[in-house]
Amino acid sequence: MNLKGSLTAWDDAKGFGFITPEGSGDRVFAHISAYSGRGRPSAHRKVVYNQSKDGQGRLRAAQFQCAGAARIRASVAPGVWLALLVAAGFVGGLGGLFATGVVPVALPATYLALSLLTFVLYAVDKSAAGRGERRVPEKRLHLFDLLGGWPGALIAQQLFRHKTRKGSFQFIYWLCVFLNLAVLGWLLFWPEAYFVRQELGVEQLRLNLLSGF
């Protein structure tokens, strides 16, 4: 790719835009299928590209990607850091409860293991989608979200920019998060879950919390 320009227009929903060459020249049509960089392109970023012509003689980018600092920004979605903060805060909070002796190590370890496994499943599904191969069923992804892998799923969605624009998927994902946290809250705090907490060794959490008030 030996040509330089700026992606002066980009419609991410439709997956196309236009590159304005450095110096002078006609705008070049750019489609997402020709994008070879990481992440997603966005308007007003520097790009390098090769150009060709379509069947009607119009210029189009045969291949393009962001250049320089724009390449780094494009590779990391804006929500990645927030997702990392939320996931690390949640799992780290459970780790803190373990460190103070109020929950067994199995609780944060289970969330961490399921998050890693769910992250891998999302990565596999994203890769399969790009190659047109067999996908991971959405029901399977949501099952692992529900079981406790939702922190890893949150990071994967933002890092790979996968499933973030599908409203129905996001609705079910956040429903799974809510249900998982509701069950966790019931398990740890609800009086009627006393016998379950005893079996799992987490009854001490409720006692410690009550003694603090």
191 phi and psi, to 5 degrees? -55, -40
Same domain assignment for residues 47 and 150: no
User: Are 140 and 190 in a shared domain?
Assistant: yes
Residues 82 and 26 in one domain: no
pLDDT tens, position by position, 170-211: 999 999 999 999 988 877 777 666 666 666 665 655 565 555
- Same domain, residue pair 169 and 110: yes
State the residue range of the domain holding 44. 3-74
The listed range with the strongest mean pLDDT (54-68, 98-112, 170-184) is 170-184
Of 52, 74, 96, which residue constitutes the final position of a domain? 74
CB 24 within 8 A of CB 12: no
CA 24 vs CA 10, 40, 139, 194: distances in Å: 19, 26, 51, 74
Same domain, 70 and 91: no
Q: Any bridge partners for residue 5, and if so which?
A: 21, 47
Written as one letter, the residue type at 128 is: A
Same domain, 168 and 69: no
Q: Are residues 191 and 97 in the same domain?
A: yes
Q: What is the pLDDT of residue 213?
A: 47
- In the DSSP assignment, the letter for residue 103 is S
- Phi first, then psi, for residue 3 (nearest 5°) are -105, 145
* Averaged pLDDT, 101-110: 80
Instruction: Based on the fold, state whether residues 52 and 92 are members of the same structural domain.
Output: no
Same domain, 113 and 171: yes
Domain boundary among 53, 74, 95: 74
Residues 94 and 198 in one domain: yes
Mean pLDDT in residue range 139-150: 96
Cα(88)–Cα(194) distance, integer angstroms: 28
pLDDT tens-place string over residues 76-90: 566 788 899 999 999
Tell me, what's the pLDDT at 161? 78
pLDDT of 63 above 60: yes
| The pLDDT of residue 154 is above 90 | yes
SS3 52: strand
Same domain, 88 and 48: no
pTM of the model: 0.65
48 φ/ψ angles, rounded to the nearest 5 degrees: -120, 145
Rounded distance between C-alpha atoms, residue 120 and residue 91, angstroms: 17
Per-residue pLDDT averaged across 38-52, rounded?
80
45: domain CATH number is 2.40.50.140
Domain limit, last residue, from 32, 49, 74: 74
- What whole-number distance in Å separates Cα of residue 7 and Cα of residue 28? 9
Domain count for the chain: 2
**Based on the domain organization, do 55 and 95 belong to the same domain?**
no
